[in-house]
Amino acid sequence: MPSCDDTQASIRFYSDALGFVVKERMDNVGENGWAGGATLWHGRIQIMLASPHYLPESVKIEGRHSQMLHYYYPKDLVAVHASLRDRGYRATNLVVRFYGMKEFEILDPSGHWLVLGQPTDEEPTVEK
């Protein structure tokens, strides 16, 4: 469950950028409240979002709640990447890793890294 600096911005990001559908939203706890029992779905993927005050004992690093890295496997990585960039999202370049995955990264509004990848037989990209 990612802790979000602004759950409403995170809901918009996951819905608009990545196509998640919001279920059981609970906004009556304020701008930074628990986002919808914050259940968001995309196919078989389910995520829940919470504000930092929902997790009062969570550790802060450099004044922010700890960040997470999430890995997703879309069916058409290249199309998802192009769609995000076409709509103005700052996705990194597509690269082929030495471990046989084509990947790119994008940050959500609270600084959680999302890595999207797809298996490939392509030769690894030389990263500069």
* Lookup: tokens for 25: 């939203």
DSSP string, 81-112: HHHHHHTT--PPPPEE-TTSEEEEEEE-TTS-
Containing H/E element for 113?
strand 113-119
Burial (CB count <10 Å: 0-12, 13-18, 19+), residue 25: middle
Judge whether 2 lies within some domain: no
Task: Please report, in tens digits, the pLDDT of each residue of the chain (128 residues total).
Answer: 556 777 788 888 999 999 999 886 666 554 444 443 467 888 888 787 766 554 444 445 566 555 566 788 899 999 999 999 999 999 999 999 888 999 999 988 877 888 899 999 999 997 54
Instruction: For residue 69, give its domain range.
Output: 7-57+64-119
Judge whether 15 lies within some domain: yes
Backbone Cα Rg of the chain: 16
Judge whether 127 lies within some domain: no
pLDDT at 82: 98
Judge whether 125 lies within some domain: no
Domain count, the chain: 1
| Closest to 14 in 3D by CA, of 93, 105, 118, 109 | 109
Tokens 């597509």 locate to 94
Containing H/E element for 65?
strand 64-65
Judge whether 103 lies within some domain: yes
Phi, psi of 83 (to 5 degrees): -60, -45
Question: Can you give the CATH number for the domain in which 33 is found?
Answer: 3.10.180.10
